[in-house]
Every structure is written in structure tokens, then in C-alpha cells.
């Protein structure tokens, strides 16, 4: 295996600001891919005419359906142009929630998409993947190197700077893993709600048995999409006497009227990482991802 540095970061124009931050942190060169859409909707990509042996590609997989096709075209073309080791940096990794067939005939999208990505890339790096019944990212994405990072420490640092006596609350049981890490970093009190989901936009939330009267509560989770769980939790926390409710999430998907829904429920500040570009981004992940790339490079050099 070549020990030459990972210097080329392929990216798309819509993620160029994020790519430049990562390239600077990782001492790489961000190289935009030319993308053309034909009138019938098909897309054409153009990469540099020659590539080094090791190439990193940045593509956060929010709005994932067309992006997965882009990755298919991109990865196979990159290998034809000289790349022998491909790393995908997908700060948000889509299709991880469906890890089992709940009804007969359902596609287990985590297994299918994970295998698809592992067939294209030698390494996949992501942040706070939405895993439930699998213990590791390697189980979901069986690439040679499957690296799951967490934004919980950096979100905890942000919260400590802005709500130093915050009470961290997870909006559902699935958030427990991130709540525990964030709380331990600065000694925050913390607890987790119980959620009963009836549909994509219909949820019931049961508050934990912890006093919230007069507390500055921060709802912390890996992802916020429709905003219904967060909104319902915020309403109940404020009704129980919380002084304020803020929201901190790794992935700001915020589909449809999610922001308005949360604000109407009484949410004060909304903070997110730059894993998905959004006006609420306050925490940058470039340094954390760059460190993971450096560790990967070191392991490849030893191979």
C-alpha cells in the first residue's frame, strides 16, 4: 500500500464551503467535480483527468437518492483514472434507520445501502450514524475501514459555553448514547424521554422522572427531521416549568416546516453541526474529520 499523503479531496459545488474547511484542516486540496444535468434528468460527472492512488470524496447524504447515484458514477470513474484507495467522507449517512424488516416484504435499507457503499469505497467516515440494533458502523457498512465519529463532545462544549448549568434531555430512548457522552464531558445533569411513534408526524413523548422546574433545558439528539418529537418534548418541558428549552443536534435535516414547528412549541435557540449545511450550524466538524483521516492514513502507511 502506498504511503503517499491523502491530498485530493473531491467534492461537489454545493458542498464547496464545507470541503474547503475540511481541506484546510487536513492539508488537502479541494477539487470540485463538474456536474451536468441533461434535459431528461440524467447527470454527467467530470473528474480530473488523472488521480493519485489515494483519494478522499466528500458527500453528505442528506437528500440522498440522487447523491447515491453520483457516488456510483464518481467512485467507478475515479478508479479508472488511477485511484486505488477511495475514502468516502459522508458526515451524514442516510438509510441507516431501517435495520430490520418490521413488516413482511420490507427492504432493509441499511443493509442494502451499507453494502452498496462498501462495494464502492475502501473506507467510509461518518458522524453519529443513526444505528439502533447494530452495535458498530462496520456491521452496517462492511467496508475495510468503517469509522464512526461523534459530535457529542463538541456540542457539549458549545452548550457549556452558552448554558453552563444546562439540563440535557434526550427526546427519545435512541438519543441516550449521545446524551451520556455529552453529559459526562462537562458534568451536566441528564435524562431521556420515552417516545411512542404512531407515524412520521405523530408522536407521544413521556418526560423522564427528573425535576425541570426553573432549569435551562437543552434537547440533544443526533438528528432532527420533521421536528415533531422535539416540539412535543419542548411543549411538555415548558409546561412542567422549564425556564427555557434549546435544541442541539448533529444533523439539521429540518424538512418542511420543522423549524416553525419547533419555534411555535417554544424552542429558543437551535444549534447544529455543519455535517448538513443549515443556518443553525454553529459547530464545525472539519478538525474531527481531519484527525480521523490522519489516523486512517497512518494505518494505511503501516499496511
Cell reading at 186: 462537562
Would you say 115 and 269 are in contact if contact means Cβ atoms under 8 Å apart?
no
pLDDT above 50: residue 5? no
pLDDT above 50: residue 1? no
Cell reading at 202: 405523530
Would you say 59 and 93 are in contact if contact means Cβ atoms under 8 Å apart?
no
Residue 96 buriedness (CB in 10 A; 0-12 / 13-18 / 19+): buried
Query: What mean pLDDT do residues 38-60 have?
Result: 95
Q: Which domains does the chain have, with CATH numbers?
A: 8-150+285-302 (3.40.50.2020), 152-283 (3.40.50.2020)
Cβ-Cβ contacts under 8 Å for 199 (sequence gap 6 or more): none
pLDDT at 196: 72
DSSP state string for 90-142? ESS--S-S--S-SSTT---HHHHHHHHHHHH-SEEEEES---SS-SSHHHHS-
pLDDT at 133: 84
Query: What mean pLDDT do residues 7-36 have?
Result: 96
pLDDT at 127: 98
pLDDT above 80: residue 261? yes
Would you say 178 and 154 are in contact if contact means Cβ atoms under 8 Å apart?
no
Cell reading at 200: 412520521
- The bridge status of strand 216-224 relative to strand 8-11 is unpaired
Confidence label for 195 from pLDDT (cuts 50, 70 and 90): confident
- The bridge status of strand 34-37 relative to strand 43-46 is antiparallel
pLDDT above 60: residue 3? no
CA distance 130 to 241: 31
Indicate the average pLDDT of the chain: 92
Amino acid at each position: 500500500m502506498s504511503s503517499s499523503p491523502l491530498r485530493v479531496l473531491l467534492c461537489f459545488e454545493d458542498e464547496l464551503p464545507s470541503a474547503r474547511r475540511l481541506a484546510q484542516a487536513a492539508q488537502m486540496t479541494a477539487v470540485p467535480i463538474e456536474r451536468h444535468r441533461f434535459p431528461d434528468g440524467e447527470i454527467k460527472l467530470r473528474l480530473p483527468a488523472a488521480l493519485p492512488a489515494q483519494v478522499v470524496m466528500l458527500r453528505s447524504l442528506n437528500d440522498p437518492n440522487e447523491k447515491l447515484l453520483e457516488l456510483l458514477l464518481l467512485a467507478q470513474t475515479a478508479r479508472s483514472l488511477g485511484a486505488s484507495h477511495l475514502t468516502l467522507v459522508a458526515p451524514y449517512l442516510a438509510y441507516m434507520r431501517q435495520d430490520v424488516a418490521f413488516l413482511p416484504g420490507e427492504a432493509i435499507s441499511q443493509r442494502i445501502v451499507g453494502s452498496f457503499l462498501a462495494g464502492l469505497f475502501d473506507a467510509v467516515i461518518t458522524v453519529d450514524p443513526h444505528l439502533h440494533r447494530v452495535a458498530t458502523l462496520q456491521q452496517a457498512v462492511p467496508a475495510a475501514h468503517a469509522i464512526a465519529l461523534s459530535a457529542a463532545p463538541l456540542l457539549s462544549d458549545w452548550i457549556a459555553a452558552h448554558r453552563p448549568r444546562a439540563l440535557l434531555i434526550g427526546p427519545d430512548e435512541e438519543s441516550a448514547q449521545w446524551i451520556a457522552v455529552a453529559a459526562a464531558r462537562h458534568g451536566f445533569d441528564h435524562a431521556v424521554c420515552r417516545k411512542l411513534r404512531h407515524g412520521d408526524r405523530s408522536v407521544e413523548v413521556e418526560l423522564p422522572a427528573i425535576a425541570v422546574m426553573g432549569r435551562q433545558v437543552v434537547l440533544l439528539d443526533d438528528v432532527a427531521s420533521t421536528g415533531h418529537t422535539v416540539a412535543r418534548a419542548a411543549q411538555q418541558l415548558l409546561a412542567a416549568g422549564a425556564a427555557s428549552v434549546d435544541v442541539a443536534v448533529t444533523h439539521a435535516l429540518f424538512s418542511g416546516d420543522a423549524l416553525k414547528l419547533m419555534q411555535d412549541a417554544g424552542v429558543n435557540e437551535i444549534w447544529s453541526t455543519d455535517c448538513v449545511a443549515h443556518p443553525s450550524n454553529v459547530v464545525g466538524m472539519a478538525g474531527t474529520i481531519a484527525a480521523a483521516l490522519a489516523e486512517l492514513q497512518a494505518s494505511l502507511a503501516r499496511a
